[in-house]
Amino acid sequence: MAIVFRWDLDKTYLKTEFSRVQDLIRTFFQKAEDKEVFAGATTLIHALDAIPESKTTFISGSPRPMRKVLKKKLELDGIHVDALVLKPNFSNFLRGRFRALKEQVGYKLPALLEQRLKISSAHTEICFGDDAEVDAFIYSLYGDVVAGKIEPQRLKRLMQKVGAYEDQIDHALELYVPLRQRQEEKNPVERIFIHLEGRSGPQRYAAYGVRVVPIYNYFQAGLMLYSMQHLHMDDLLKLTQTVLAHPRLNEKRLANSAQDLVRRHHLALNVIDECLQGARTLGDKELVECFERASRRTRELDKEELQKAPDEVQTIDYEKILEMRLLGRRHSKDR
């Protein structure tokens, strides 16, 4: 299967702080070897990269002058990168485009469309982002644009509403033409994982439908990708071992994470049973105890509630999402 895994960097792969000016300065001058990665993220990317005909790309809001250090970090982690796209923040600053320093849709959406034109229409995509920015909105809109569900005028209005500059909007509309000439009718984005680094509530993403899966850790992403048949059992168990090695992610936390996915109707109960059997076959006592606990936790859930599947979102109402400010983590006035 031809598949592309698209990743954000900050707060998705790398633990990055940029809420204060001093955080930005520290991050900019931080050496590659000092940058910290979220537990399990590297192991997961290695497993996904082993899939035949797969590609791994990064489209990040990090400024272009950081390319050298970011490439070195990815090389140190043994990650093969098919594309690394960074934001032209220095150029934006010199041109007085201060709104563009934080606004992401006007930058990321055209970048995604450009990347789509570089691959065949046969490629499906799985996207990884976080709740610090607007990744769920961007990835969802991107998939609908490629599938022809968003007309040019609506795309223009949406980009205007989020604060994109006119040349960014024009660029997106220019890319729209050759994309529609390919006549892709199916949304290429199979799943969107949103890392809840900012601890947004998962319910804030209900408006996007089941394609968007909010996750608290990469163990949850691994369970989902295994259930989607993109991850082998051996790789899932290795990922679980890596995550368990983290001092803050013990068996109890992972069991709760498994239960959380089942409760939110993203994961079937039988997946946990398969993982438990895989752990027993491997003979790893810690893994067996982890999945036994997860099995017990998931079976504590109300069976009647599990049968009540959430309403499917047929068409995403992007205008309503903007109106209700459901783009990502809560704004200060929402708290």
Residue-wise pLDDT for 88-109, tens only, equals 877 777 787 777 678 899 999 9
Q: Please determine, for residue 33, whether its predicted confidence score (pLDDT) is greater than 90.
A: yes
β-bridge partners, 7: 58, 128
Q: Are the C-beta atoms of residues 174 and 183 closer than 8 Å to each other?
A: no
Residue 129: in which H helix or E strand, if any?
strand 124-130
Checking DSSP bridges between strand 189-195 and strand 83-87, what pairing results, if any?
unpaired
Q: Please determine, for residue 21, whether its predicted confidence score (pLDDT) is greater than 70.
A: no
**What is the CATH topology of the domain spanning 3-210?**
Rossmann fold (3.40.50)
Residue 329: per-residue pLDDT: 54
> For the chain, where do the domains classified as CATH 3.40.50 start and end?
3-210
Residue 111 and residue 27: Cα distance in Å, rounded? 23
Residue 107: per-residue pLDDT: 95
Residue 236 and residue 233: Cα distance in Å, rounded? 5
User: What would the pLDDT profile of 198-238 be if each residue is shown by its tens digit?
Assistant: 778 899 999 999 999 999 999 999 999 999 999 999 999 99
User: Taking the model in full, what pTM does it have?
Assistant: 0.93
Closest CA relative to residue 121, chosen from 63, 184, 43 = 184
Residue 26: per-residue pLDDT: 73
Checking DSSP bridges between strand 54-63 and strand 3-7, what pairing results, if any?
parallel
Question: Cβ neighbours of residue 145 under 8 Å, at least 6 residues apart?
Answer: 109, 113, 155, 176, 179
Residue 169 and residue 111: Cα distance in Å, rounded? 12
Confidence of residue 117 (pLDDT cuts 50, 70, 90): very high
Distance of CA 148 to the CA centre of its chain: 22
Q: Please determine, for residue 185, whether its predicted confidence score (pLDDT) is greater than 60.
A: yes
Q: Are the C-beta atoms of residues 298 and 262 closer than 8 Å to each other?
A: yes
Residue 16: per-residue pLDDT: 86
Closest CA relative to residue 60, chosen from 35, 33, 39, 95 = 35
Range 151-165 average pLDDT = 97
Q: Please determine, for residue 334, whether its predicted confidence score (pLDDT) is greater than 60.
A: no
Residue 325: per-residue pLDDT: 78
Q: Are the C-beta atoms of residues 1 and 51 closer than 8 Å to each other?
A: yes
Residue 196 and residue 154: Cα distance in Å, rounded? 29
User: What would the pLDDT profile of 244-301 be if each residue is shown by its tens digit?
Assistant: 999 999 999 999 999 999 999 999 999 999 999 999 999 999 999 999 999 999 999 9
Whole-number average pLDDT of the chain: 92
